[in-house]
Each structure stands twice: as C-alpha cells, then as structure tokens.
Amino acid sequence: GQNIDQPTEMTATEGAIVQINCTYQTSGFNGLFWYQQHAGEAPTFLSYNVLDGLEEKGRFSSFLSRSKGYSYLLLKELQMKDSASYLCAGTNSNSGYALNFGKGTSLLVTP
Amino acid sequence: DTGVSQDPRHKITKRGQNVTFRCDPISEHNRLYWYRQTLGQGPEFLTYFQNEAQLEKSRLLSDRFSAERPKGSFSTLEIQRTEQGDSAMYLCASSLGQGKNIQYFGAGTRLSVL
C-alpha cells in the first residue's frame, strides 16, 4: 500500500472554503487522484495531480507537493450538495494501475 | 454515453452459497478493475484486467474469489462459499488505459451474507 492518510471527518458552513489534506508515502509515487462519493453511490472523479502545483477546476482545486508527499483538495463556495466523502487515492509504480485509497474524509456542510 | 453498470445492485445470500456479480464497463475502455469497500473505509483493490487478461490480483483475493473477462468486454466476479466477512460493496471501474488513466466507477453491488 501507499499509506494514504486523511482526516476522518470535517464540518464546514455553506458558502465557506474548506481544505481537505492528504499525505502519502512518496516511494514509487506515480500520481494522485481525488474522488467524491455520496452515500450509497459510486465514487466520481474530481481531479488528478502528478506534477507539483495547483490544478483548478471550477469550485474545486487540488494541490500536490511530491517532495513532501502531500496533497490537498480545496472546495470553494460550499454548497449543501458537497456533503459527501472525499477519497484521496495514489498510484504507485510498484502496484501497477491499482488505486490505493485512503479511508476518505466525510465532509458535512451545514447551513 | 453510458457509464459503468453493475448487476445486481443488491444481493442477499446465506453463508456458504456462491454469488456472481456482473460489470459492464464503458465501451472501448480496455482496463477493468474490481474493488471492495466496507463501511467507513475507502475502496480496496482486488484485481484488474487489460482486455481479457487478468494482470494483477491483490492478496485480498482469496482462492474463493475468481474474476473473468472472457471477451474483453463485461466481467464477472464470483465468490464461492460466501462468509459473513465477505459482506461489502463490490465496485467495478474501467479506464481507457491512456494519459491520466482515470478510473470511472459503477454504483456497485452491495452484498449481504447472512
């Protein structure tokens, strides 16, 4: 595995900004994904980072630092529908094309 | 554009029975993956196919589990002699196998072993 570590739960207010952090072991690192998963539904792809820096896509942005083994997902202008689990997943040259997921961060957006 | 579809969505079985799940990937996706997810956890990789070839299997995939993708399109996952510990959501994903190799997931089959 890649020892993906992310907080278990977070709470934020509608309209606010929230940052969900993820750390991983850097050995063999080959790319990092973020997925969103609503309860009982399929994980849906949000972002992919393989190079250092920030990738912006609408209200969602993802950042990667390869040297620090660190990524974050930034959600702006939070909406109630953003309440979901956010999964950080790494790919590793030692494990082929499998995604190694963290346990997920359950985000609750409150009014 | 149809996404990844899985059948059935729910399966309840008694311990010791065999079950089979089906996954239809996005058309033209040559890679297909199976994952298992339990409550409060992220998905755990089980196995993946490139076309009809099964190229990688996790140590989680005991000898009671077998997966096939006979024509490089749909795939089946069979669990023999089910145990209560097999209760989980079984997710299928597919990818084009190029560029970012983004994996797109189906809604899963929820298995309950009584």
Predicted pLDDT of residue A108:
98
The token duo for B109 is 């089959």
The 10 Å Cβ neighbour count of residue A11 is 11
Chain A residues whose CB is inside 8 A of the B31 CB are 97
The token duo for B44 is 């755990």
Chain A residues whose CB is inside 8 A of the B105 CB are 35, 42-44
Selecting from A44, A48, A104 the residue whose C-beta is nearest the C-beta of B42 gives: A104
DSSP codes joined into one string, B24-75: EPPTT--EEEEEEE-TTS--EEEEEEETTEEEEE-TT--TTEEEE-TTSS-E
Q: Which residue of A lies nearest to B59 if distances are taken between CA atoms?
A: A1
Which range is least confidently modeled, A78-82, A88-92, B63-67? A88-92
Residue with tokens 């008694």: B14
Band (A1; pLDDT cuts 50, 70, 90): low
Which range is least confidently modeled, A21-30, B37-46, B62-71? A21-30
Q: How far is A15 from chain B (nearest CA, A)?
A: 26
Predicted pLDDT of residue B48:
94
The 10 Å Cβ neighbour count of residue B36 is 21
Chain A residues whose CB is inside 8 A of the B44 CB are 101
Say whether A103 and B42 touch across the interface (CB within 8 A). yes
pLDDT tens digits, one per residue of B51-103? 999 998 988 888 999 999 998 899 999 999 999 999 999 999 999 977 788 99
Question: Looking at chain A from residue 36 to 95, which residues have their Cβ under 8 Å from any Cβ of chain B?
Answer: 41-45, 48, 50, 87, 89, 91, 95
The token duo for A82 is 């953003």
- Whether A70 contacts A5, CB under 8 Å: no
Region A61-88: mean pLDDT is 96
Region B10-23: mean pLDDT is 98
